[in-house]
A and B are shown apart, each in its own frame.
Chain A
Amino acid sequence: MKKFLFLALFFLCAAQALQAQTMYQLLKYPKMTIKGVWELSEHDNNVVQLNYYNNDRCPYLLYVIDNKKFYTVFPGKNTVYSKKRSAPDDPFSKNTYYFYRGKFPKNLNPAFVYAMPVAEGTEVEWMIDPRERMRSYFFKVNYADTVYAARSGMVCSSDFENGLLVYHRDDTFGAYLNLSQRFVDAGSIVKVGEPIGLAHMGGVSFSVFFLDENLFHADKPKSYPYSQITPYFRTDKGDVKLEKGVKYSAVKDDPLIMQEMSKSEQKRYLKNRKK
């Protein structure tokens, strides 16, 4: 009977609902992270500019409903609109705009290989995080085991203490949840394989996602416009998408560590490694 019942289940707004509270909290940005101010142009007193100041180290997307345009708000000052002081209303006057973390990726590489966020050489069990779902990988490690960066990136601002949000070079995010302690603060650059915190009870959850342009519609703002990636991990069984019921050991070899390094960084890394 249950089988038939399940057949008919229909989940309303599941994309939003299935996002558990922790991810939702991690994505919330602290107050005053983004500030919009109308200012006189430095070059022309007859021109006013709408400047957005992004106090985070990661970009945000400003979506203006009235003119159906997207603006990327990079860290620092961003002039998104200018007009003559005497000019009539502008698309920003109605306050129908939204901010989202991130920007649309231009060179997304779904085949990018990540390090497992656990110690090298230890075999770990994993499962889809029952609280987070949506392709969040929960690695079963002990309480206070060290958690390592799965990919290099910039730590973003967040008030959520039990997690870390890391912005990657290709405009994806790495979310580390269920941390008991964080070793790095917002604005820090983390390198793949670097210790970033300690696991909480049960283990640590990791997922990769990006702001997805395909989920936006002209006049419909989304509460969760992100898509998750099924990452490849470097393991003792090769570069794989994790298979259910299989245990894996993390492998963090030089090619993985050097994946996103410039040539000079690679040289330096190898030189230091020999020492």
Chain B
Amino acid sequence: MRKLLLALLCCAVFPAISWSQVKIKYTGDPLPSKAMGKIESMMGHMWDYYSSMGLKEAMEVELKVFKSKKEGYRYMRSLYPDDPNYIEQPHDKTMGGGLAAVYIPKKKLAVLLGIEHGTDEALTIIYHELSHHYTRMLFKGATYPPIWLNEGLAEHFECLKLKRSGVVSEFPHANKGKVKTLIMLGDLNLEKFLNFTQKEFMEMQRNEGQTCYSLAHVTVTVLLENLSVEQRNTLISQLQKRPVNSKVSDIVASIYPGGLPALEKEILEFVSR
């Protein structure tokens, strides 16, 4: 009887989860059970979202958690001994920076490199990394997702909060502010940004801090707000089918009503709100 009640309670708390499709394996240091419940609930929401864009394959992802960044970096160094990203820098301590988490597509593994900043912050990072997993699954067997779409969706899920009333998006003011400044300085080149390669995106990340993530987030949000479900799915489908050397900006321009000038205008309006 007790077990039945517990099962009913779980269904009431996490109604969005399609259990047959969402599988997560926790390894490493344990997370509080409340946090695990939230992760699974968010995964259910992600599944609904991505399946509406055409994701069909059953998901399985491993989440490895390290309590301390030191341990997390040590683990990553054991996997990639030559990668300088996993050497802790002095400013990681003094300025709260450094890598927070990594998703390794080949292993379907999300690694959380430390939860020193608390469970709530860890959860947002986990949502971010899990979104990468879903996006990669959505583009499985197709051309790789454009970097702005991958990071923009991840930022979108990172900013979602689970409330009693449902899932609520809390768009960070800082993301809007950075894009607003980018536009104010005349540095927004949307066409170039949409066609960014991995390398170019990371170069912008190095030179401009979080601005490229903010722009990816704003762009994805504006697209989601203004495209119908049908248009959105057409966009995803065309991005999946695109030849490797094709211009992503042309695909976006052909689907977004009014093309890139209209998208740019909507972006400006969004960040000015």
Stretch from A10-18, A40-48, A142-150, A257-265 at the B interface: A10-18
A5 touches B102 (CB 8 A): yes
A15 to B235, CA, bound (A): 31
Give every chain B residue within 8 A of A217 (Cβ-Cβ). 173-174, 177
A110 touches B185 (CB 8 A): yes
Known A6-B202, A10-B154, A215-B181; judge A1-B95 contact (CB<8 A).
Answer: no
Interface residues of chain B: helix, strand, loop or mixed (majority): helix
Stretch from B8-16, B43-51, B205-213, B217-225 at the A interface: B205-213
A8 to B109, CA, bound (A): 11
Give which listed residue, B95, B105, B154, B186, contacts A19 with CB less than 8 A.
Answer: B95
Interface string of B63-96 (1 = CB under 8 A from A): 0000000000000000010010100011110111
Known A11-B210, A16-B97; judge A6-B180 contact (CB<8 A).
Answer: no
A228 touches B208 (CB 8 A): yes
Known A17-B95, A21-B91, A134-B207; judge A5-B80 contact (CB<8 A).
Answer: yes
Which chain A residues (109-137) contact chain B, with CB distance < 8 Å? 110-111, 128, 133-135
A216 to B97, CA, bound (A): 19
Most chain B beta-carbon neighbours within 10 Å: one of A111, A128, A212: A212
Min C-beta distance of B272 to chain A, whole Å: 10
Min C-beta distance of B202 to chain A, whole Å: 6
B168 within 8 A of A: no
Give every chain B residue within 8 A of A20 (Cβ-Cβ). 91
Which chain B residues (51-68) contact chain A, with CB distance < 8 Å? none
Give every chain B residue within 8 A of A227 (Cβ-Cβ). 178, 181, 185
Interface string of A196-211 (1 = CB under 8 A from B): 0000000000000000
Residue of A nearest to B173 (CB): A217
Min C-beta distance of B87 to chain A, whole Å: 14
A16 to B95, CA, bound (A): 6
Interface string of A1-45 (1 = CB under 8 A from B): 111111111111111111111001000000000000000000000
Give every chain B residue within 8 A of A111 (Cβ-Cβ). 186
Known A4-B106, A10-B100, A12-B98; judge A17-B207 contact (CB<8 A).
Answer: no
B156 within 8 A of A: no
B186 touches A110 (CB 8 A): yes
Give every chain B residue within 8 A of A61 (Cβ-Cβ). none
Stretch from B21-29, B32-40, B124-132, B259-267 at the A interface: B124-132
B134 within 8 A of A: no
B187 within 8 A of A: yes
A128 touches B206 (CB 8 A): yes
A220 to B172, CA, bound (A): 11
B99 within 8 A of A: yes
A-B contact list, 13 entries, CB within 8 Å:
A2-B83, A4-B106, A6-B202, A7-B144, A8-B102, A10-B101, A11-B97, A15-B174, A16-B95, A214-B176, A214-B177, A214-B184, A215-B178
Chain A residues close to B by CB (< 8 Å): 1-21, 24, 108, 110-111, 128, 133-135, 212, 214-217, 220, 222-223, 227-230
